[in-house]
A and B are shown apart, each in its own frame.
Chain A
Amino acid sequence: MNGAVFIVISVFTLAAALAAATLPNLMHAAFCLALALLGLASFFFLLGAEFVGLALVFIYIGAVAVLIVFTILLTRRDPKEHYGLNWSGVLIALAVFAGLTWAVLKTQSLSIVPPHIRALTVKQIGQTLMTGYVWPLQCVGLLLTAALIGALVLVMEEKK
């Protein structure tokens, strides 16, 4: 059962990701990206990590996808115009792919049977964030607040 679900979700996610990379219409690509992220979130659900999956849906589909869509809308150029192959993009993609492959191959658990780990509950995550990781959390909060204030300063009405 789990294996079948895994294959279905993988095909769905890969198809959506491929569509996001190749579709000529940018807006369609953005919607497909949201679909691919949904597929990734369902992997987490399959693994029993509900919190991470929900957070992924929440942040990436609810916020980041809308942000991307808005960015495309506000900076839209003529969709008919064809852009050549972007070599720096290819380089970055290859570098990311190589890094991920290296990390996956170095992981020990690929060869041995993984021990049965209970997924973290929301309570445990909250406690970890509030004790061991409280300073990183505060730093992220500070960064986000600074970004918010920066956005406000950018759009503030100029006094005559």
Chain B
Amino acid sequence: MSSALDQIFIHAKRWLLSWVAGAPNWVIQITSSLINIVALVAVFLTLFALISVLERKILARMQNRYGPNRVGPFGLFQPVADGIKMLIKEDIVPARADKVVHFLAPVVLAAVAILTLGVIPYGRNMTAFAINGGILFFFAVGSATELAVFMAGWASNNKFSMLGAMRAIAQMFSYELPLIIAVLPVVMAVGSLVPDTIITAQGEYTLGVVPRWFVFTPWGAAAFILFFVSGLVESNRTPFDVPEGESEIVAGHMTEYSGFKYATFFMAEYLGMFAVSGLAVTLFLGGWHAPVRMLEFVPSYVWFFLKLSALLFVYIWLRATLPRMRVDQMMNVAWKFMLPMAFTCVIATAVWHYAGRGLRGWLWSLFVIVVVYSAMSILLDTRRKFAPRVYRFAE
């Protein structure tokens, strides 16, 4: 019974495919891919609509106000109203803009975000594009985001857009390094770049209670934090939303976009956030595995989306709590702290592996990380007292 519920989507897909069973092989292949893509887009656009209203509700709750509560019960139909509003808005393209590139930028950005979502396993046997080297695919495709953002900034022919794009690329490049290196420990420990294999490796339970998720090892915990923070930067979310800081440069690379193109940018940002969180769940939080063996009867995709929602809640929580960081401070953290820590995680994983992957390895890798962390906190301490900021180019 529970396994039937677990595999319900797989059976549904098989049933749909049985309609074209007599067709040539390539028709079946293309139909199968199309079903995957439609399912992926449908699920994540729904999640996007849901999250956009939940985010406003949660932010409102944290700021002691009501939030959207006019459309539908508890304001739940707000995304429908927003969508209609965005669709009927005028689409303004600046006269001096490069029309083709201006149009292509949001399209490329959304396409990249959807492609990266495809390699994540959402449940048992539920990976949209099961390719050899899925993790590499994620980052390879994801790296096209920078080009899309640049296209948006350049094609708008507006100095705020250009500045925003420059800032976005600077921060994305800097944080892509710790992001990718924080993934390496997991790849090393499992010995595979396939997301499904990585999840299978986390399926057991130590002493029958504690799940063997990588976040419960010292190197895994450290890498998870690094990955999460870098992911936050990659998705341009609030503590790191320098590229679109509305108090400084209007809306960054999105300044000259209006109507549905702006909505597409917004959507791509959220889809990117889902993709990075989904990858974090896959790599460190055991993917679709249940946290306790007793609860394994609950379908696997439920666990995945529960973990994803937990991470998304942290994103929203951080947005409500933290102010925006300064550009130079952000770059300093990336190069002076995050990158060395990511390399330390790689070394700690090697130590963990060679010390026998048991309690001894656990303690040794903790030792390595603690030593490097304390050494760096002493080394990087500037002993600077907090004082009013001194401006070099203003005043």
B133 touches A57 (CB 8 A): no
A interface SS class: helix
A122 to B184, CA, bound (A): 14
Q: Is the CB of A69 within 8 A of B136?
A: no
Residues in B whose Cβ lies below 8 Å from that of A50: 131-133, 137
Given contacts A50-B132, A54-B133, A58-B136, contact A63 B101 (CB under 8 A): no
Of all chain B residues, the one with the shortest Cβ separation from A5 is B26
**Chain B hits for A57, CB < 8 A:** 140-141, 143-144
**A62 engages B154 (CB within 8 Å):** no
A66 at the interface (CB under 8 A from B): yes
Measured CB to CB, the nearest residue on chain B to A48 is B132
| Residue pair A66, B169 in contact (C-beta under 8 Å) | yes
Number of contact residues on B: which range applies? 20 to 34
Q: Identify which of A1, A54, A123 contacts B136 (C-beta below 8 A).
A: A54
Kindly provide the distance from the CB of A74 to the nearest chain B CB, expressed in whole angstroms: 10
A144 to chain B, nearest CB (A): 12
101-146 of chain B: CB within 8 A of chain A: 101, 131-133, 136-137, 139-144, 146
B-binding segment of A6-14, A27-35, A80-88, A103-111: A27-35
Partner of A27, one of B136, B140, B141, B154: B154
Chain B residues with CB under 8 Å of A100's CB are: none
A-facing mask of B181-208, CB < 8 A → 1, else 0?
A: 0000000000111000000000000000
From the candidates B132, B137, B140, B169, name the one contacting A121 in the complex (CB within 8 A).
B132
A52 to chain B, nearest CB (A): 10
Contact between chains at B143 and A61 (CB < 8 Å) = yes
> What residues on A are CB-neighbors of B150 within 8 Å?
66, 69
CB contacts (< 8 Å) of A73 on chain B: these are 154
Known: A28-B101, A122-B132, A122-B133. A62 touches B193 (CB 8 A): no
Say yes or no: is B273 at the interface (Cβ < 8 Å to chain A).
no
Instruction: Return chain A residues, CB-CB under 8 Å to B193.
Output: 122
Known: A34-B147, A65-B147. A54 touches B101 (CB 8 A): no
The chain A residue with its CB closest to the CB of B143 is A62
The contact of A31 among B136, B143, B151, B192, by CB within 8 Å, is B151
Closest to A53 in B: B140
The docked-state distance in angstroms from the alpha carbon of A73 to that of B150 is 11
| Residues of chain A contacted by B136 (CB below 8 angstroms) | 51, 54-55, 58, 122
Query: What B residues does A1 contact at CB under 8 A?
Result: 26
Q: What CA separation (Å) do A33 and B150 show in the bound complex?
A: 15
- CB-nearest residue of chain B relative to A72? B154
Q: Which 5 pairs of residues, A with B, have the shortest CB-CB distance? A: A62-B143, A58-B140, A57-B140, A54-B140, A54-B136
Return 21 A-B CB contacts under 8 Å, by A number.
Answer: A27-B98, A28-B98, A31-B151, A50-B132, A50-B133, A51-B133, A57-B144, A58-B136, A58-B139, A58-B143, A62-B140, A62-B144, A63-B143, A66-B146, A66-B150, A66-B173, A69-B147, A69-B154, A70-B169, A73-B154, A122-B136
Given contacts A31-B151, A54-B137, A63-B143, 17 further A-B contacts (CB under 8 A): A27-B98, A50-B137, A51-B133, A54-B133, A54-B136, A57-B140, A57-B144, A61-B147, A62-B146, A62-B147, A66-B146, A66-B147, A66-B150, A69-B147, A121-B132, A122-B136, A122-B193
